[in-house]
Amino acid sequence: MVQKVYITYNQIHKLCQDAAPQILDNFKPNLMIAIGGGGYVPARILRSFLRRTGSPNIPIQAIGLSLYEALGTDDQIEEPGHKVTRTQWLDLSSLEMANLIGKNVLIVDEVDDTRTTLEYAVKELQKDVATAAQQLGKDPQSTQFSIFVLHNKDKEKKGRLPNDLIEANRYLAARTVPDVWINYPWEATDIDEHDRMAAQQTIE
C-alpha cells in the first residue's frame, strides 16, 4: 500500500517563501521555466518573493512534460512511466530561445521523484540554447540553469543532472521527504477534504 501525503497551498506558499532568499543569493535568476503542470503554482508564488525593489518581475515561461501514467486502480494512484513526452515546448523559431541566452534560468517543478523529467528538461533546454546561440553567434555557456523543486524524494534516481549544475549547488529542494505519494492541492477535486487530510499529516 502506497502511503499518501497531502500538501496544502499554505504549505507550498511557505516553502517557496523560505527558499526564496537562497535562490536569490545563489542562483540570481532572471527567468523561470515552469514544468507543467506541477511547476506552475510554485513558480508563480516564487516570483512574488524573488522580486527585488525597483526591478521588474521575473518572467515565467512554461514547458509541458509528461512521465506519469495511471495504474488503472480505483484510487487512481499513478506511477512513473518510462518515456518523457513533450506536451508543450519553447518555439525555437521565435524569440523565446534567443531570450534564454546569457540568462540565469531557474527550472521549477513540484517534485523530484525519479529525476527523469528534470534530466530531460535540462538536457533538451541546453541543446536548444546551444542551437539558438550558434544561429546568433553567441556563447551558449553564458546561460546557466538552476533547479528548484518543492519536494525531493529520498530514493535512488533514474535520471542524472549535469555535474556542473550539482557541483555549483544550482539544485535546491525545499524539503527532502521519504518515498511517498504526494497529493498536491491543484490535483484535488474537493479542496476541503484535501485540507482535512493534510491536517492529519506531519510532512511539509
pLDDT digits (tens, 9 = 90+) for 20-53: 999 999 999 999 999 988 999 999 999 999 988 8
Q: How many residues does the chain have?
A: 204
Tally of structural domains, the chain: 1
Confidence at residue 161, expressed as pLDDT on a 0 to 100 scale: 97
Query: Is the model's pTM score more than 0.95?
Result: no
**How confident is the model over 158-182, as a mean pLDDT?**
95
Catalytic residue list contains 113: yes
Looking at residue 171, the DSSP 8-state letter turns out to be E
pLDDT digits (tens, 9 = 90+) for 119-137: 999 999 999 898 888 888 8
Averaged pLDDT score across all residues of the chain: 88
Confidence at residue 56, expressed as pLDDT on a 0 to 100 scale: 87
CA proximity to 45, closest of 192, 185, 168: 185
CB neighbour list of residue 100: distance below 8 Å, 6 or more residues apart: 31, 90, 125, 128, 129, 132, 143
**How confident is the model over 180-193, as a mean pLDDT?**
96
Full domain range(s) for residue 19: 4-70+79-200
Q: What percentage of the chain carries pLDDT values higher than 70?
A: 88
Q: What percentage of the chain carries pLDDT values higher than 90?
A: 66
pLDDT digits (tens, 9 = 90+) for 58-116: 999 999 988 754 444 445 444 555 678 888 888 766 656 677 888 999 999 999 999 99
Confidence at residue 113, expressed as pLDDT on a 0 to 100 scale: 95
Residue where the block lists cell 531570450:
99
Confidence at residue 9, expressed as pLDDT on a 0 to 100 scale: 97
Confidence at residue 44, expressed as pLDDT on a 0 to 100 scale: 97
Backbone angles phi, psi at 104, to 5 degrees: -95, 105
Provide the CATH number for the domain around residue 29: 3.40.50.2020
Q: Which of 109, 112, 113, 128 is catalytic?
A: 113
Confidence at residue 72, expressed as pLDDT on a 0 to 100 scale: 44
Confidence at residue 95, expressed as pLDDT on a 0 to 100 scale: 59
